[in-house]
Structure 1
């Protein structure tokens, strides 16, 4: 049985939907904190069980009979998040899973200025130390993050951001399809290749695309990190998120998210969605 954690979230749910296209429902299980959010999956024959990364016993129950477990990153950063992942890895091993897959990220590194990257690197190390067969999926940067970064630029005509570098923006839809293929047809031992879209675009390129889509000029305005911090605070962003957002720009300036790969296209059998098409589909005019 293939078990997917976080199946009520965007990526986890997308993976389950893709699995249902290629795998019998009765051989798919999900581990979620709130089973009511995925009642429809149970109605379609998927095994639904409560599982909480802070509760080892609940995970052991949710992972019962697992051949493979997909650990979707809990989203909790720092030591608390790493403890959660350690708990999940240990539960998968105790449940007898043959392989663990983890949604890591391109650019994962203990020294990255983008806070999620040390978190992913630490989890990759835990997987290696576990002695289990594992695959760390080096996912491309989620394209959905662009919508928040664009913010009010369409209304104001200014895309206000710090200096940045190219990013291989990649959609949840493409990554979900690729993950389902890896779970059912092929896999890598250890780190996967970068699973990215075929192009890396900086915020200047994003501004030009948004201008074309909106049919009005959008000017990219480069500001210092400190000015951007003040701008975000003035627009109601919580303090806890500031270092994450600023870290994205610092890491992109280092080129951490610029590398593209053909691995994603090879897995899904088509070109990944282009940034322009994603923006056209996603932004509200």
Structure 2
């Protein structure tokens, strides 16, 4: 059995949908905080059990009989994510899980100024010490482009801090590739990168957007402290704004610049590009 955590979230839920196309439903389980939100999976034959990273006993029950567990990483900057991930890893091992697949982050290496990298690095270390086989899928940035680029469609300007090349990746592609890995389509050990085949910058996005819209979209570099002040003025907490600033700092130092062919190999096709995603955003 394959058990997926976070199956009512975007990535976990999409991964389950792809698994259902590959293996029988009775070989799939999900561990979710609220089982009612996973009723659509239960109706299709998926085993649904309640579990959260804060409750090790519930996790052990949710993971019972699992040969593999997909551990979808938490993302609450105020929580002890390493401790919560430790709970999940220990519960999976106690349940006899042979392999743990973890959704890590591209560039999860020492020195990366983007602060969430720290808990991904620590979690990967816990996996290495767990005694179970493990795979860390270091996923490329897959956040919505409208959040990444800001209100450029209204203003005609991409006004963000100085950035660097990033292989912006489609979440749907990552979910499909994750299902391929879990279903046995490819044996992967340790950390691997899942990212779009080309890294782009905001300058590139401005050029792509100009071509797609027939308008001149300008790229304006905003000073770091001015950007933080603007974010705070718009209602973003200071701590959150400064956390996000470290993402820009990491990108300009090249921590997210690596493009990798693995995602295309797992999909058996080319992943969606930044231009593909931007065209879809414009069309919506």
Report the TM-score when normalising by structure 2.
0.96
Q: In structure 2, what is the equivalent of residue 27 of structure 1?
A: 27
**d(CA) in 2 for partners of 1:272, 1:217:** 27
Q: In structure 2, what is the equivalent of residue 214 of structure 1?
A: 213
Q: Secondary structure at the match of 1:170?
A: coil
Q: Output one character per residue of 1:20-64: Cα deviation in whole Å (capped at 9) or x when no partner.
A: 000000010000111111110000000011111000011011101
Aligned residues: 283
Q: Secondary structure at the match of 1:198?
A: coil
Q: In structure 2, what is the equivalent of residue 89 of structure 1?
A: 89
Between 147-156 and 126-135, the greater mean CA deviation after superposition: 147-156
Q: Secondary structure at the match of 1:281?
A: helix
**1:62-77 correspondence runs (5 A):** 62-77=62-77
**d(CA) in 2 for partners of 1:208, 1:41:** 42
Q: In structure 2, what is the equivalent of residue 265 of structure 1?
A: 264
Q: In structure 1, what is the equivalent of residue 164 of structure 2?
A: 165
**d(CA) in 2 for partners of 1:53, 1:46:** 20
Q: In structure 2, what is the equivalent of residue 242 of structure 1?
A: 241
Q: Secondary structure at the match of 1:109?
A: coil
**d(CA) in 2 for partners of 1:126, 1:76:** 19
Q: Output one character per residue of 1:81-135: Cα deviation in whole Å (capped at 9) or x when no partner.
A: 1110000000000000010000011100242111111111110011011121111
Q: Say whether the 8 Å CA contact 1:77–1:119 is kept in structure 2.
A: no
**d(CA) in 1 for partners of 2:238, 2:144:** 18
**d(CA) in 1 for partners of 2:32, 2:177:** 21
Judged with a 3 Å threshold, the aligned counterparts in structure 2 of structure 1 residues 275 and 17 are, in CA distance, closer, same or farther, namely: same
Between 74-83 and 16-25, the greater mean CA deviation after superposition: 74-83
**d(CA) in 2 for partners of 1:58, 1:35:** 13
Q: Say whether the 8 Å CA contact 2:196–2:271 is kept in structure 1.
A: yes
Q: Secondary structure at the match of 1:23?
A: coil
Report the TM-score when normalising by structure 1.
0.95
Q: In structure 2, what is the equivalent of residue 46 of structure 1?
A: 46
Q: In structure 1, what is the equivalent of residue 151 of structure 2?
A: 152
Q: Output one character per residue of 1:230-251: Cα deviation in whole Å (capped at 9) or x when no partner.
A: 1222222233321232111100
Shift of 1:75: 1.4
Please list every run of 5 or more consecutive structure 2 residues that lacks an aligned counterpart in the other structure: none
Judged with a 3 Å threshold, the aligned counterparts in structure 2 of structure 1 residues 228 and 73 are, in CA distance, closer, same or farther, namely: same
Q: Secondary structure at the match of 1:244?
A: helix
**d(CA) in 2 for partners of 1:5, 1:17:** 13
**d(CA) in 1 for partners of 2:238, 2:282:** 26
Judged with a 3 Å threshold, the aligned counterparts in structure 2 of structure 1 residues 4 and 42 are, in CA distance, closer, same or farther, namely: same
> Aligned-pair RMSD on alpha carbons?
1.4
| Residue 123 (1) aligns with residue 123 (2) | yes
Q: Say whether the 8 Å CA contact 1:89–1:127 is kept in structure 2.
A: yes
Shift of 1:149: 2.3
Q: In structure 2, what is the equivalent of residue 139 of structure 1?
A: 139
